[in-house]
Amino acid sequence: MPLVAPFETSFGRTTQRRILLVEVDVDGVIGWGECVAGEGPFYAPETIETAWHILRDFIWPALARKEFVAAADLWGMLSAIRGHNMAKGAIEAAVWDAEARQKGIPLSKLIGGSLAEIPCGVSIGIQESDDELQRVVERELDAGYQRIKIKIKPGYDVEPVARLRRRFANVRLMVDANSAYRLEDTPRLRELEAYFLMMIEQPLGWDDIWSHAELQRKLMTPICLDECIHTEEHARAAMALGACRIINIKLGRVGGFTPARRIHDLCRDQGIPVWCGGMLESGIGRAHNIALSTLPNFSLPGDVTASKRYWTEDIIDPEVTVTPRGTIRVPAGPGIGFEPKRDRIDRLTVRREVLR
């Protein structure tokens, strides 16, 4: 699926997404999930190709023709497979969708969600100029989004933030470095403190909780961890070390709804707010993110946005829309609450495999 506009981060520029969808048949009821792995191993070690391999050769043999009571059982059934959370999360989410459809209830209710609307922010990639960045921010604020996140990297950080803060004095503003800095860059990151940011997301190494703890002790601005948090144990260690004050929970990064709910509950009990990050998902992955964001400790606006921000035409009906006040109404229909457009999916599909 080609993006409406290129999306650039500290680790690269994306113009189109190869998306791996999982369609599962659970006792005759169909559920859908999406693997959020990228084309290359830059955000995380997984890729679309590794996920396809793990799903076909290891995850499916562990689940095929097995009996289980609920979607929540899948995480334990896959415990022998180390890592590969994005592959696990794709099929786990699809089974949750199927279970909710079987029961005739929204997926948000099945996972224990309580919100009828979720607050939305936007993630804005690195722009070619500060003028273009300002125009994009103005457009997103006019659309009603409640929080602005911009991507930063060395050489593109303090100056664009300073300009945005001068132009938008009261906007909730945050930055995301996607692990682009090192601990020795602390003086540069401290310069961002002057601009009253909500948080600095994942400034240091993708697997370096210790250095984030060192950095957080030197900053008043909260650090939010993203790439560092793959498991409940990672979240517990980060909180114990003081490595962050906020955690971004991405369904695929942690492996599905069961581990995501555990991390959510742990953060809630420790007084750490969470929010839902995005991975340039199609509407299927976006629908799962909406359901996840209804859990009560998702108290900060996430990266769940309208379909039209990324796609000229999405693969779900109806498409995801955002209200003028910057919220998404949680669908009341069974499962994810959206129907996949099978004709469009078929036209876009370049590879298919049926596992029985």
CA distances from 183 to 90, 180, 187, 204 (A): 34, 10, 9, 7
Largest CA-CA distance found in the chain, in angstroms, rounded: 60
β-strands 327-329, 117-119 pairing? antiparallel
> Is 250 in the active site?
yes
> Is 151 in the active site?
yes
Q: 50 near 87, Cβ under 8 Å?
A: yes
Catalytic one of 103, 109, 153, 250: 250
Catalytic one of 149, 151, 153, 308: 151
Residues whose CB falls within 8 Å of the CB of residue 69, separated by 6 or more in sequence, listed in order: none
SS (H, E, C) the chain: CEEEEEEEECCEEEEECCCEEEEEEECCEEEEEEECCECCCCCCCCEHHHHHHHHHHHHHHHHCCCCCCCHHHHHHHCCCCCCCHHHHHHHHHHHHHHHHHHHCCEHHHHCCCCCCEEEEEEEECCCCCHHHHHHHHHHHHHCCCCEEEEECECCECHHHHHHHHHHCCCCCEEEECCCCCCHHHHHHHHHHHHHCCCCEECCCCCCCHHHHHHHHCCCCCCEEECCCCCCHHHHHHHHHHCCCCEEEECHHHHCCHHHHHHHHHHHHHHCCCEEECCCCCCHHHHHHHHHHCCCCCECCCECCCCHHHCCCCCCEECCCCCCCCCEEECCCCCECCCEECHHHHHHHCCCCCCCC
Active site residues: 151, 250
